[in-house]
Amino acid sequence: MKRILVVGATSGIATACMRRWVRDGGARLFLIARDEEKLEQTAADLRVRGAEVHACVIDATDLGGHAGMIEAAIAALGQIDIALIAHGMLPDQSACERDADLALQSLAVNGTSVIALLTHLANVLEAQRSGCLAVITSVAADRGRPSNYVYGCAKAAVSTFCEGLRARLFRCGVHVIDVRPGYVATPMTQDLLLPRRLVAHPDAIARCILTGIERRTDVLYTPAFWGLIMLVVRSIPRFAFNRMRL
């Protein structure tokens, strides 16, 4: 039975992952989220499905609370086999362009809070000499596009951090997987006008994540076609890219 810490446990992708873990063989779960009501609903749903669930309410941007939160998770679980970092926000790019505070808030939620958590968790798993850090970033990390560069730069910072962390932890048997989804049908994207054929269901993303963890994949584009799409986007010459509306 896997012992799993999930930060951002009320997100659509995280919930789909946890349901699959429970269905595929059971799990002991320690859930972290900032919305107490949604967290309790998520925990209750998982308990009905047969999981052992512990829950803790904390805002991931409360950096001072990270160490205590992880200590509580270890006390409840014994050790951490998988840590899934799934929290985040999709900021309004136009609003961020007008308001530096909003831009910095996005960086705090999507960037620095994740890096802080990974720093604590890496030390724990390194001492264990086992485990997996699964981090949900985004295809937006691959190139700074005018439509979402505030969000993208935070995700890019996390992806670069994961790359270095993966190399550091490789020798002690700890795996770091950088999960880069494209468009996903979640509350975060429900108000956006997105091409329907490119929008994936959270359960499809969850299936890919669990497979990627088992296969020890380093960077996971999900659905897989996003790897090809972003290869094309990264290959566009800068003189042409600057004239495009992406």
Q: Domain spans of the chain? A: 2-241
The tokens describing 39, both together, are 């967290």
Q: How far is CA 237 from the centre of its chain?
A: 30
Q: How confident is the model at residue 1 (pLDDT cuts 50, 70, 90)?
A: confident
User: Which CATH number describes the domain made up of 2-241?
Assistant: 3.40.50.720
**Residue 193: band (very low, low, confident or very high) from pLDDT cuts 50, 70, 90:** low
Q: Note the pTM of the prediction, 2 decimals.
A: 0.94
pLDDT score at 192: 63
Residue 246: the pLDDT is 83
Quote the Cα angle for 63-153-93, to 5°. Answer: 100
Distance in angstroms (rounded) separating the CA atoms of residues 178 and 220: 6
How much is the pLDDT for 96?
97
For residue 160, give the nearest of 133, 137, 127 by alpha carbon: 137
For 186, which DSSP code?
S
**Cβ atoms 136, 85 nearer than 8 A:** yes
